[in-house]
Structure formats: C-alpha cells, structure tokens
C-alpha cells in the first residue's frame, strides 16, 4: 500500500514530520509517495540516515514525486 503525502500546500517542517511518521508506521513492502514543489534536502538527509531508498521524479507541472521505501 502507498501512503500519499501531498505537501505542496504545507509549510516546512510539516511535510518532513509527516513523512518520518508515515515511515515509522509502514508495513513491509509498503511505501510513501510525497508530492512537493521543492527538493527537500533535510528529508533526503533524514532518509539517508535511516537507510531508506527513494526515487525523485520531476513532473511537467513542477511537482516533485518522491517515492520512499523503509529500510528493513
């Protein structure tokens, strides 16, 4: 199952906090999909620290689609 966090209308650090909370609650094989208008360097640093993997895709409308999987 994918947990979607649409952070495009949120102020920092709310998207980061929601992403980390969602990762803590993920079941095996699930992932988090974040939608943002920026490249979230603090999030990437936190994911690297946790050993997570992610992909970062830029849509035509400027939305970054970041798909994250928890380290197991």
Backbone angles phi, psi at 12, to 5 degrees: -60, 145
Topology of domain 2-69, per CATH?
Translation Initiation Factor IF3 (3.30.110)
Of the candidates 66, 71, 64, the one whose C-alpha atom is nearest the C-alpha of residue 33 is: 66
Q: Residue 41, SS3? A: helix
Query: Which pLDDT belongs to residue 71?
Result: 75
Query: Which pLDDT belongs to residue 72?
Result: 66
Within 10 Å of residue 67's Cβ, how many Cβ atoms? Answer: 14
Q: Residue 14, SS3? A: helix
Q: Is the pTM of this model over 0.75?
A: yes
For residue range 24-72, list pLDDT tens digits in order. Answer: 999 989 999 999 999 999 999 999 999 999 999 999 999 999 999 987 6
Query: Which pLDDT belongs to residue 44?
Result: 96
């Amino acid at each position: 199952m994918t947990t979607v966090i649409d952070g495009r209308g949120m102020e920092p650090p709310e998207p980061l906090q929601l992403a980390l909370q969602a990762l803590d609650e993920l079941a095996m094989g699930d992932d988090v999909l974040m939608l943002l208008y920026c490249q979230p360097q603090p999030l990437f640093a936190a994911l690297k620290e946790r050993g997570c993997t992610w992909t970062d895709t830029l849509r035509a409308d400027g939305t970054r689609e970041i798909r994250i999987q928890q380290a197991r």
